[in-house]
């Protein structure tokens, strides 16, 4: 089964930015995690912070509206995502549990299996 | 569809030979012994939790219709299996994609080995909401009908049906597996099951008296805890929970008066407690302790044993109770545990100190009726009758349980 792991965190202006050493350590841990689980991982992406986001608001009656900022407002943000292909939820949970993040959460979302290869599901 | 006549009626018990109560007891015993095994067997052969569970539920409804009239079959499990399998076949034959499963199902045979553990673990998967875990466990493992669950949980049948549909949908859409968790995950998963069982037990415990309903939630939960102890022989917390439940049940006869009124622990007639059941439960605690992995249920059972073994309320070993509550707080801190600890403090250090500790919990427990009832008792003992009355009225406003309301009203008149 395919799932997307969403790496979630909270926006906290007061939290000091990570030092270069801390960042390096985190990237090294993520690298280890990817190597250990390489057979189960499709793609993984870290996202730029929400202030880099641009949102297109759709409305069938009108022309879409382009606005600055993310669609999801509030404290929570998605910092990245990872596509995985595993047997079942328990295996997905195991990957989420071992993700080397120190705070925040990992949300596991099953991917809808579409029956149109090459159309909706191109993997 | 008719019943499973082909299973044979040799050994059937004629309904006329049994009273309605005996028929009810026999039907309940058959369901709890067979429903879980049967569902587990069918999930295994069908590879479809939803279909297996629905088919067993159909068989149970059939049995409820036929058994009281035609007698309980000599082999109730085989009867239920035949009906459930036929039911599954009917459903599957509408769908051509399932021909392989059909062949497999067509082969007759007895239920397989006991894979109820996988079933229980799936129903109590932490990815399901607690109310879904509870409803699904009652249906798939205990063989409760939707109506029985609604009665037991004091909610509507629609609400129960909705919870079951949602839980089964999530099992399918989220890919919740039907298999044993990894050894690293087993302790956490077991803890989840124990929490569901304890919740079921507590739901049943207060509503036990004279409900006249066919199945008693507290008894059923204790039964499944026993099954779990056999399926997980190395798990001391399962033994601890079983001991805890058995200690409460052993005191059940003293908890209510003849007319169904709740009696406080201090006022219970201890000669009505089941001494041999208490002794057996204490042996379970010792067996768990020998495994040398302490956990909250074992400690709670030890506290219950302190009460159960005391010949009179006054001779309770309160220092021991207090020490055990401290241990429990270190393992599983919660405001409710601190409330209970404060009540032990009352007996060791007096009501003043107990009230002081209790009042520190007001922020957490203001909506909990027992908190106000306990304050009412303490204030009354200290001679502060007006405040005691206010606290008891607040407790009364917060509980809907009839037996508890009656007891609170009685305390208000004193």
Give the pLDDT score at A33.
96
Q: Please, what are the averages of pLDDT over each run of 10 residues along chain B (414 residues)?
A: 46 61 79 90 88 93 89 89 90 69 56 78 95 95 90 89 96 93 90 94 66 68 93 95 96 83 90 96 97 97 97 96 97 95 96 97 94 96 96 91 83 81
| A1 vs B175, B179, B182: nearest CB | B175
B267-306 burial: b if 16+ Cβ within 10 Å, else e: ebeeeebbeebbeebbebbeebbebeebbbbbbbbbbbbb
Q: Rounded CA gap, A34 and B343, in Å?
A: 53
Q: Where are the alpha helices (DSSP H) in B72-140?
A: 76-93, 99-106, 116-123, 130-136
Continuous segment of H or E residues that includes residue A46: strand A41-46
* pLDDT at position A118: 57
How close, in Å, is residue A43 to chain B by CA atoms? 20
The low-confidence residues of chain A, meaning pLDDT below 50, are 123
Residue B232 DSSP SS3: coil
Q: What is the DSSP letter of B382?
A: T
Enter the pTM of the model.
0.84
Q: Would you state the torsion angle of the CA atoms of residues B263, B267, B271, B275, taken in this order, to the nearest 10 degrees? A: 70
Q: B228 to chain A nearest CA, in Å?
A: 21
Which chain B residue is nearest to residue A92, measuring alpha carbons? B175
The CATH topology of domain A2-110 is Alpha-Beta Plaits (3.30.70)
> Domain map of chain A by residue range?
2-110
Which residue segments constitute the domains of chain B, with CATH numbers given? Answer: 1-113 (no CATH), 115-233 (no CATH), 234-333 (no CATH), 335-414 (1.25.40.10)
What pLDDT sits at residue B2?
45
Cβ separation of A92 and B179 shorter than 8 Å? no
How close A114 gets to chain B, by Cα (Å)?
13
Looking at residue B20, its pLDDT comes to 74
Residue B219 phi, psi dihedral angles, 5° rounding? -60, -40
CB of B97 within 8 Å of a chain A CB? The answer is: no
Residues in chain A: 123
Complex-level ipTM: 0.83
Dist CA B367 CA A114 (whole Å): 48
Question: What is the C-alpha to C-alpha distance for residues A66 and A88, in angstroms, rounded to an integer?
Answer: 39
Helix B49-70, helix B157-174: angle, nearest 10: 140
The residue count for chain B:
414
Give the integer Cα–Cα distance in Å for B153 and B367: 20
**CB neighbours of residue B307 within 10 Å:** 19
CA distance A52 to B173: 33
Q: What is the pLDDT of residue B278?
A: 97
């Amino acid at each position: 089964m395919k799932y997307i792991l969403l790496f979630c965190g909270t926006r906290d202006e007061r939290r000091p930015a990570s030092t270069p050493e801390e960042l390096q350590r985190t990237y090294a841990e993520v690298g280890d995690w990817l190597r250990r689980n390489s057979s189960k991982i499709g793609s993984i992406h870290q996202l730029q912070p929400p202030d880099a986001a641009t949102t297109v608001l759709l409305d069938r009656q009108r022309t879409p509206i382009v606005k600055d900022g993310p669609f999801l407002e509030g404290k929570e943000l998605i910092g990245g995502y990872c596509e995985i292909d595993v047997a079942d939820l328990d295996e997905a949970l195991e990957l989420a549990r071992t993700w080397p993040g120190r705070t925040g959460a990992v949300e596991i979302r099953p991917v809808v299996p579409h029956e149109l290869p090459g159309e909706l599901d191109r993997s | 569809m008719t019943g499973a006549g082909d299973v044979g009626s040799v050994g059937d018990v004629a309904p006329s030979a049994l009273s309605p109560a005996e028929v009810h007891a026999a039907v309940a015993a058959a369901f709890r012994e067979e429903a879980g095994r049967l569902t587990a067997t069918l999930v295994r052969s069908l590879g479809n939790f939803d279909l297996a569970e629905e088919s067993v539920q159909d068989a149970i409804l059939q049995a409820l219709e036929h058994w009281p009239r035609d007698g309980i079959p000599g082999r109730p499990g085989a009867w239920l299996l035949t009906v459930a399998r036929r039911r599954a076949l009917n459903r599957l034959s509408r769908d051509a994609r399932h021909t392989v499963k059909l062949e497999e199902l067509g082969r007759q045979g007895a239920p397989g080995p006991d894979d109820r553990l996988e079933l229980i673990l799936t129903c109590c998967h932490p990815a399901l909401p607690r109310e879904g875990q509870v409803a699904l466990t009652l249906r798939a493992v205990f063989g409760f009908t939707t109506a029985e669950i609604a009665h037991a949980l004091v909610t509507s049948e629609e609400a129960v049906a909705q919870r079951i549909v949602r839980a089964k949908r999530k099992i399918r859409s989220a890919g919740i597996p039907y298999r044993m968790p990894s050894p690293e995950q087993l302790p956490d998963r077991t803890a989840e099951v124990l929490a569901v069982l304890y919740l079921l037990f507590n739901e049943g415990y207060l509503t036990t008296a004279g409900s006249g309903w066919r199945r008693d939630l507290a008894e059923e939960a204790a039964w499944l805890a026993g099954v779990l102890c056999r399926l997980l022989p190395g798990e001391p917390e399962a033994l601890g929970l079983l001991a805890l439940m058995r200690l409460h049940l052993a005191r059940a006869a003293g908890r209510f008066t003849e007319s169904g009124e709740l009696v406080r622990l201090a006022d219970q007639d201890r000669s009505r407690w089941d001494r041999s059941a208490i002794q057996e439960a204490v042996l379970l605690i010792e067996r768990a302790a020998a495994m040398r992995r302490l956990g909250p249920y074992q400690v709670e059972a030890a506290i219950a044993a302190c009460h159960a073994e005391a010949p009179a309320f006054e001779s309770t070993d309160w220092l021991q109770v207090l020490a055990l509550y401290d241990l429990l707080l270190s393992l599983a801190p919660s405001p409710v545990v601190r409330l209970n600890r404060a009540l032990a403090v009352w007996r060791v250090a007096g009501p003043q100190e107990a009230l002081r500790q209790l009042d520190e919990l007001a922020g957490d427990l203001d909506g909990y009726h027992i908190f106000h009832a306990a304050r009412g008792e303490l204030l009354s003992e200290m001679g502060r009758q007006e405040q005691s009355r206010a606290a008891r009225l607040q407790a009364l406003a917060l509980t809907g349980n009839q037996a508890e309301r009656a007891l609170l009203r009685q305390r208000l008149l004193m």
